[in-house]
Amino acid sequence: MHFIQQLIFIGVLAVVSYFVYKKGSAIYRNINLGKATKIDNPNGFKNMILLALGQKKMFQNPLPAILHLAVYLAFIITQIELIEIFLDGILGQHRILYNAVGGIGKSLYTGIINFIEILSLFALIATFIFLARRNLLKVPRLVMDEMNGWPKLDANLILIAEIWLVFCIFLMNGADAALHPGKYGFIISSNFVAPMLSGFSEGTLQFLERFGWWGHILMVLGFLVYLPFSKHLHIMLAFPNAYFLNEKPQGKVANMPAIANEVKAMFDPNFKPPAVEAGAAIEKFGAKDADELTWKNLLDAYSCTECGRCTAACPANITGKLLSPRKIMMDTRDRIEEIGKGKEAEGEDFNDGKALLGDFITEEEIMACTSCNACVQECPVSINPLDIILQLRRYQILEESKSPEEWNVMFNNIENNMAPWQFSPMDRDKWKDEA
């Protein structure tokens, strides 16, 4: 019987590994569809530890941060017990680590499981609170229009899966403790769960222990397959995204060399723009579609957990404008997924006649942005919706010549007077004569 379970486990593990590799490779390919960009990240490892592992920015709002930390720590620490579950499944053993040690080793083992059980209990409480915040209290940033449909279902499915995982852990440990009274001394399972199961027969307890074991590991493996399709991919991608955080000053807009050279030529008659090679492609300003953004923009999109803190802090959204920075990231991810699938099916010349700007994100959305950086500041892992908005806006203005009339007045003044104001540059300092 153990041998059959061992074969089933290895078979399931192989299938899951294949699907995880296949989808992970597709996401890696999609991110690399973005343009190359230079990232200035001298504190990459520090940012990864503080933002992704330490969740530093989450604690700007303590209550949700503490609840999230409980779930996060339970997820991380439970991997210790998961190591034993995997070893048991592959080798056809039962509690292989517990049986491999003695004396202090067994006490240490029990202490680790006790710590996991306490964390799991806190995670269970936090999960119910998260479900209530989304579905009963309806926290505004969690029930906005872009969260209808799949995003809402996705969030709830993961929370329900967390409840199932904790239930199976306690069932597995509790049934095992009931089968072997006084052997383990698990702080919750032995003292609270095992007494509730003590009236069952040995065969039933063995079934419940196996049900808990298989229920937990199958949910874990199912989660791994599901993860690349879910916003919870941020569990993995938050780390590289924090590492590659561009540490240039917030609000600094990167120059476009072609335009910078034009401006230099206006101010300096002796300036000679770099020669353009014959046959060189004409430079395109900004981005219209997702694959014209940088790979870091696309990594940002895949790292977004749709928490909505960016949108909740956005002054444009607060005042009723159509812009939602969270939606910008969700739309970018959806579009690059479409492009990736299209290129995989039809080759590099894939063209479905759609674009990120226009079909996913509207002109009204990008023009509502005030470039204040509130969205970047609020994001727990410093995702940058503003950079995507600026690139889309650059395309719209510089490639399609679509800009608000108020902006056109300023552009004309800069072109003719080298300043936003409508008077000659020679008259710039006359204000002081009127003082």
Question: How many angstroms from the chain centroid is the CA of residue 257?
Answer: 32
Sign of the dihedral defined by the CA atoms of residues 239, 243, 246, 251, in that order: positive
Residue 35 β-bridge partners: 294
319-329, pLDDT tens digit by residue?
999 999 999 99
For the CA atoms of 125, 126, 128, 133, the dihedral, rounded to the nearest 10 degrees, stands at 150
The CA-atom distances, in angstroms, between 43 and each of 49, 97, 363, 376 are 10, 38, 36, 18
Least confident of 190-199, 242-251, 348-357, 424-433: 424-433
pLDDT at 34 > cutoff 70: yes
DSSP, res 200: S
User: What is the chain's alpha carbon radius of gyration, rounded to the nearest angstrom?
Assistant: 28
Q: Is the separation of the CB atoms in 366 and 288 below 8 Å?
A: no
- Residue 279 pLDDT level (bands cut at 50, 70, 90): low
Tell me the pTM.
0.89
Q: DSSP string covering 261-287, please?
A: HHHHHHH-TT--PPPPPTTPPPP--S-
pLDDT tier at 280, thresholds 50, 70, 90: low
Contact 155, 134 (CB under 8 A): yes
pLDDT at 15: 94
Average model confidence (pLDDT) for the chain?
A: 90
Confidence of residue 187 (pLDDT cuts 50, 70, 90): very high
Confidence of residue 278 (pLDDT cuts 50, 70, 90): low
CA distance 323 to 235: 26
Distance CA 90, CA 392 (A): 50
Count of Cβ atoms closer than 10 Å to residue 86 Cβ: 17
| Alpha-carbon distances, residue 260 vs 81, 252, 264, 367 (angstroms) | 57, 15, 6, 23
Say what the pLDDT of residue 435 is.
57
Distance CA(240)–CA(52), nearest Å, equals 9
CB contact set of 39 (below 8 Å; sequence gap of 6+): 244, 245, 246, 296
pLDDT tens digit string along 392-410?
999 999 899 888 888 888 8
Q: How many CA atoms lie within 13 A of 260 on its CB side?
A: 6
Amino acid identity of residue 231, one-letter, is: K
Percent of the chain exceeding pLDDT 90 equals 61
pLDDT of 68 = 87
Residue type, 374: A
pLDDT score for 82: 86
Find, among 302, 316, 309, 322, the residue nearest to 231 by Cα.
302
pLDDT at 273: 78
| pLDDT tens digits, 90-115 | 888 889 988 888 889 889 999 999 99
148-163 confidence digits (pLDDT tens): 999 999 999 999 999 9
- Work out the pLDDT band at 38, boundaries 50, 70, 90: confident
Say if residue 22 is exposed, middle or buried (CB neighbours under 10 Å; 0-12, 13-18, 19+): exposed
Contacting residues for 223 by C-beta, under 8 A, at least 6 apart = 161
CATH numbers and ranges of domains, the chain: 42-238 (no CATH), 257-272+283-416 (1.10.1060)
Identity at 190, one-letter amino acid code: S
Dihedral sign, CA of 76, 77, 82, 84? positive
pLDDT (tens digit per residue) in 71-92:
888 888 888 888 889 888 988 8
With a cut of 70, say whether residue 271 has pLDDT above it: yes
| Angstrom distances, CA of residue 14 to CA of 1, 8, 21 | 20, 10, 11
- Whole-angstrom distance, CA of residue 278 vs CA of residue 257: 18
The 10 Å Cβ neighbour count of residue 145 is 9
d(CA 71, CA 92) in angstroms, rounded, equals 30
On whether the CB atoms of residues 25 and 230 are closer than 8 A, the answer is no
